[in-house]
Amino acid sequence: MPIGSPLERAREKVHLADIPTGTVPLEPEPSPGVTDSSVSWSDAWRRLWTPLDPDLIDAGYRGEWLVAGIRLLIILLMISFPLDQFLRSPMERDTQIVLWVAVAALAEALVLYSAVRRSWGRTWIGFLSGFLDVSLVTLSLWIFLRLDQPLAATNDLVIFPVYLLAIGATALRYDWRICVLTGASAIVEYLALVSYSAWQWDLVPLAAEFSWIAQLGRLGLLGVATLLATSLVIRAREQRLLSTRDRLTDLANRGFFDDNMNRLGAIASRSGEPVAVVMIDIDHFKRFNDSHGHLAGDAALKVVAKLLSVSFRTTDMIARYGGEEFAGLFPGMNMPYAVRRMEELRATIEQLPVPVDGHGNTRNVTVSMGVAVWPDDGASLVEVLSIADLRLYQAKHCGRNCVVSTTLEGEQGRRRGDKRRRRP
């Protein structure tokens, strides 16, 4: 972003002392032409292990549920074959080994399926299940080595494709890190198996039955599968992000807000922690647009949205609800704290300069806010949102540029009787 741009001047106006306690300050932008390898590596490492957006975690967990069910179904169908062989020849060493591997696979499938049903490890179970899936395939191939059949292990056409299935399934988790970990595990494990086989049984002279070129081709196939799965996840996440963001302000859009409100409502009902809901509206926005033009109106929305986006925790959510309205969800925030934070935010917005032309001229805007808290103000977050919207309406009629956290007597009935709602 060029220094001196309208948004940059607005950001410079918001000093750290003006931002309420507990907020996330803006990260400084690097100077042009200056690089810091240590900072770059640390930032990259931090981003690598930063938890995903809660909505992406939910989507990935639904994918994990699907994978767990399919895994269990496939193993239940396949275990009948080694079980039948064991019942026919219980004393044979080969059938015993195969059966034990099948039992281990069934145990893995049952444990993972049970964990997913109980919502255990929502942020890490995908890493574990992906690694265990490819490790189980490698274990199945190692059976041939235990049976002194190295060529069967390195030339197998039935078990090896399951590697590709396990890697492909990672695309359902919405996390490219799981794709990379699972694919890398498959490549390393299979390379170790082939290298050990070639060294232990001296397979290189058997050119007609063993070829390193063919094995490298298999490893390349695993790499391509990993790349495709990772690309699919990244592309899907980009599309999902575009569908959930407001293009002008880069905040969440109303649809995404409503979906997260339902999710937070379910979490709050289990934990019992309060959830504050805030409705925010820029005062006299139509008059501001008429006086200074729509570009200035867009600048006002961006400046307010930028401050909102950096003023709260990562667990909170701010969305552009429509027009000049914003909405916020704040888990664990009670009414006194919510009112104090919103008052601080309102006072900060009042001081923000909004550029109205290309000559450095600025104006200020104010906002009105309505605050409500679950469960005190409603049995569901939908009801609480309605109460917050009602209090925003009251703030408009109480002079604007204020925060309203209580419902005035008789105001709710008057609001219901309004046939047409106007917000200057």
Give the distance from CA 276 to its chain's centroid.
22
**Tokens describing residue 106:** 């069934």
> Per the omega criterion (within 30 degrees of 0), is the bond before 336 cis?
no
Looking at 27, 324, 343, 344, which residue is catalytic?
324
Alpha helices per DSSP H over 201-284: 212-244, 254-271
Give the distance from CA 417 to its chain's centroid.
41
Helices 80-88, 54-78: inter-axial angle, 10-degree rounding: 30
Contact (Cβ atoms closer than 8 angstroms) between residue 171 and residue 233: yes
Active site residue 108: no
DSSP class of residue 137 equals: H
**Tokens describing residue 374:** 């679950």
Contact (Cβ atoms closer than 8 angstroms) between residue 363 and residue 354: yes
**Tokens describing residue 154:** 């390195």
Task: Please tell me the distance from the alpha carbon of residue 388 to that of residue 404, in angstroms, as a whole number.
Answer: 9
Residue 300 burial (CB count, 10 A):
25
Catalytically active residues are 324
